[in-house]
Structure 1
């Protein structure tokens, strides 16, 4: 049986497109699949002979246009419903795909777990050897003849302690690294001991020199003490006279300084009072000008004064009087 889209007159809509036969809407919504329906509507439009000279003719034209619009709405609704069904089915497919991926990913991890665990153990084993070799290199590179001898000896002992480790395939690298590290640290220890011996000898010579200087200084001090005793008697006499004279001058100077201080304080107080009065007059002038401005703007004089006082005290946010 031939399947077509037909145009049918109904009482509810002027023209409605219906699917006849056993074809589903999905079979029509393919490239050019609706050409037959469009052609049917075109035949209806072409069969109509428009007449705009009469009221009936104009209504007939409007009716034809409504039938075309209802045909469009019907076809569009069929396509819209079909798209909704496809979207629902797509969600079901995607959900099943995700469930399948999750299950097979978990199964893959389960199947590979023995190998993964082996690889992780191997990685940890190799890393342990590499870290130990790096520690040996670190001990060697951080050993210097400027370090304390105890520190250098401790570094050498730490390198030697690695000999008890089962180095497996890293045994050759360990042998080279430990030999090189102990050779370097040993060299630094020798330099440290040499420096310590030199320092000890310098300290001995310095101590001997200090003893000699001390003896000479004690002899000089004894001689100078005798000479100083004689000079002190003479100096005390001279100093007593000088002190008396200086006391007299100091007293006179103190009196003069006090007189100058009092005069200066009085002058500063007078100038400060003049500045306060001038500032007071200046601030009063500005405040009066602001009050006059507020009064001109319509504020009562009493309110204007209160506002200016609040502004001057900083009680009005975001406002500051520039004096």
Structure 2
């Protein structure tokens, strides 16, 4: 029985064992059934020799099958190496052909990118002129306005609307900044004017005070004269006293008039200061509102661009998926006609590359 099993293994071919579905399973299962069907008796000398012989034959069968497997593997490795070499040739030459075909498009896209980048740089320069304007003097702001006027003459082509928006936003920002700067300059001039008014008020107050002091000196002098003239007649004394009283009343009247004039000038100055402060706050609020509106417009513009990009990416992904689905259906149809997967892919690639006249794939 062991000889039959061994001879059966020797009669097999590598193709029958390793390239036939369930070939190995069939051979091994048959050997197992044949060996396990033997009557083995380990209690006798002959039986033990027979068991050893069967085990040896099983081992030889294993070796024979393993040698077949090695042979099949070596042949398969040679085939793999040859196929890999051909694949490398296919990859190198068709990659070169692909690059050759794509070169005009790549060159055009590079020129187009350079053109678009140039336009975007000009727009960025315009937008930059409308940023970080706090603290700039009026001359610098006006120079920026002239620079915007110069930059807006650039040929923005399909980006003209975006450039117009950037010019408008930057011009508005510069206009608001100039208003704020002019208001600050006016405030400075007004502060100097108010300081001059205050200095004049203090000078006038000093003059009035001097007049009051002189009047008091005069009154004191008159009082001394009165005391010196007590020995004069009552009439002369009374006349002198009345004259002194009139002089005191006149000094009091002048002092009150001076105080009233100073109070009025102070009230007028305070009113002017309040009015200028209100105008300043109104201008600042208007500038803040314009800045907020500009920020919101820029945020909306960025959001719109991002939404457009997402929509374009989605459209490209869906188109790619659609083309892939159709290509897989074409490949399946070719394989049903008896072609291998690699052959089917090669045919599809040739059709898509325009190498097969009068044949296209409808997407």
Query: Which residue of structure 1 aligns with residue 60 of structure 2?
Result: 70
What CA distance in whole angstroms lies between the structure 1 residues aligned with 2:203 and 2:86?
101
- Asked if 1:116 is matched to 2:96, the reply is no
Q: Which sits farther off after the overlay, 94-103 or 193-202?
A: 94-103
Cα distance per residue 1:120-139 (max 9 Å; x no partner): 22122123223322332332
Q: Which sits farther off after the overlay, 75-84 or 28-37?
A: 28-37
- Asked if 1:166 is matched to 2:173, the reply is no
User: Which of 157, 176, 187 lines up with 2:146 in the alignment?
Assistant: 157
Q: Which runs of 5+ in 2 are unaligned?
A: 207-363
* Pairing 1:153-302 to 2, within 5 Å after superposition: 153-206=142-195, 209=198
Query: Which residue of structure 2 aligns with residue 83 of structure 1?
Result: 73
Is this contact kept in 1: 2:133–2:174, CA < 8 A?
yes
Change (3 A) 1:38 1:202: closer
Q: Please give the TM-score of this superposition, normalised by the length of structure 2.
A: 0.46
CA shift, 1:162, in A, is 0.7
CA shift, 1:108, in A, is 0.8
* RMSD of aligned Cα (Å): 3.8
CA shift, 1:198, in A, is 2.1
Q: Which runs of 5+ in 1 are unaligned?
A: 1-6, 217-323
Is this contact kept in 1: 2:10–2:64, CA < 8 A?
no
Is this contact kept in 2: 1:16–1:67, CA < 8 A?
no
Q: State the secondary structure of the residue aligned to 2:50.
A: helix
Cα distance per residue 1:252-285 (max 9 Å; x no partner): xxxxxxxxxxxxxxxxxxxxxxxxxxxxxxxxxx
Change (3 A) 1:33 1:178: closer
Is this contact kept in 2: 1:139–1:159, CA < 8 A?
yes
- Asked if 1:54 is matched to 2:63, the reply is no
- Asked if 1:128 is matched to 2:118, the reply is yes
User: Which of 20, 23, 46 lines up with 1:33 in the alignment?
Assistant: 23
Is this contact kept in 1: 2:17–2:27, CA < 8 A?
no
Change (3 A) 1:17 1:211: farther
CA shift, 1:192, in A, is 1.3
Change (3 A) 1:154 1:60: same
Q: Which sits farther off after the overlay, 86-95 or 57-66?
A: 86-95
Query: Which residue of structure 2 aligns with residue 234 of structure 1?
Result: none
- Structure with more of its chain in helix, by fraction: 2
Change (3 A) 1:49 1:187: closer
